[in-house]
Amino acid sequence: MQEFNSIFIGKQDYIFFPNEILDDLQCLEYKSNSHFAFAVAYYTLITHLLQSQQYVCLASKITVKDIKRYLGYHPESKQLDYIIKSCGLLDSIGYTISSSNHVIKQKVIDNMIMYNNGINDIVKNLTIILMANYKFALSLKSFYRLQQDMDDYNLTGTLYNQQFTIKINMIIFNDIIQHNKLGIIGYLLYILIKKNKELIMSYEQITDYILVNKKVVINVLSELEINNFINIQHGHYVSSKNRNNCNIYSVKK
């Protein structure tokens, strides 16, 4: 998709994710096992769009339908809306907040952007200008890590503090998402390994965590290794949860 290819090239080619993101998103109640992977990839993309200020230059081009298509789903599919809609799963745990349909008034006063829906987000050196009738989701963890921080307008988010975060290279994200044998499952496995630096788990443990069947896990891990995204130290694997009998995974780039 040409409109997405350009957003991963430039000065802002990485983002920072809170360490707790995988555990927070993993415990949600999804309607399909693959939706955990979608939620992680979706949050990565909207965080990048915000932090690189691409909502400004692409507001007339990128829609929710485009995002669904980019992440491997039919653009008209409604099966994911319960995750990303206003008051959906991501909103419910404080990871996103959905805007109104349009911005009636937008101005900056003492680094505070004022929106028509009553949201007052204190931001630093960031200006968001939206087209009329354009909906978007704001990644709140970029600004605040905790609800109390938001209440106090205390900027503890990943735009301001990179402690206890995962650094994600967005070019690698794009390469994995667009690979026909990796996609959102490949990205979820990649970020799980990157978060742990050295991941030691059995296939069963990985399967239980990412909510995808073991055959898919084995195949996608193999593809990540073949394509030089990860290293695998192959151990003597048996059907056991004993860490001593597991592979050791680390990222290569």
* Res 101: pLDDT: 33
Give me the mean pLDDT over the 127-146 stretch.
Answer: 66
Residue 78's contacts (CB-CB under 8 Å, 6 or more residues apart) are none
What is the rounded CA–CA span in Å between residue 74 and residue 150? Answer: 35
pLDDT in tens, 158-199: 888 889 999 999 999 999 999 999 999 999 999 999 999 889
Residue 63's contacts (CB-CB under 8 Å, 6 or more residues apart) are 134
What is the rounded CA–CA span in Å between residue 71 and residue 77? Answer: 12
pTM of the entire structure? 0.82
What radius of gyration do the chain's Cα atoms show?
Answer: 19
C-alpha of 25 from chain center: 10
Residue 115's contacts (CB-CB under 8 Å, 6 or more residues apart) are 99, 100, 103, 105, 106, 121
Percent of the chain with pLDDT over 90: 44
8 Å CB contact between 221 and 249: yes
* Per-residue pLDDT at 57 exceeds 50: no
Least confident of 30-44, 56-70, 147-161: 56-70
* Res 242: pLDDT: 54
What is the rounded CA–CA span in Å between residue 63 and residue 65? Answer: 5
pLDDT in tens, 103-130: 323 344 444 443 333 333 434 334 444 4
What is the rounded CA–CA span in Å between residue 210 and residue 226? Answer: 21
Tell me which residue of 207, 178, 180 sits closest to 192, measured CA to CA.
207
Tell me which residue of 50, 7, 206 sits closest to 141, measured CA to CA.
50
What is the rounded CA–CA span in Å between residue 71 and residue 167? Answer: 20
Structural domains in the chain, CATH included, are: 2-101+128-151 (no CATH), 181-251 (1.10.10)
Task: Tell the residue number behind the tokens 């920072």, with chain if given.
Answer: 16
What is the rounded CA–CA span in Å between residue 227 and residue 222? Answer: 9
SS3 207: helix
Long-range CB contacts (< 8 A, 24+ apart) of 72-78?
Answer: 72/177, 72/183, 72/184, 73/38
DSSP 93: T
Percent of the chain with pLDDT over 70: 72
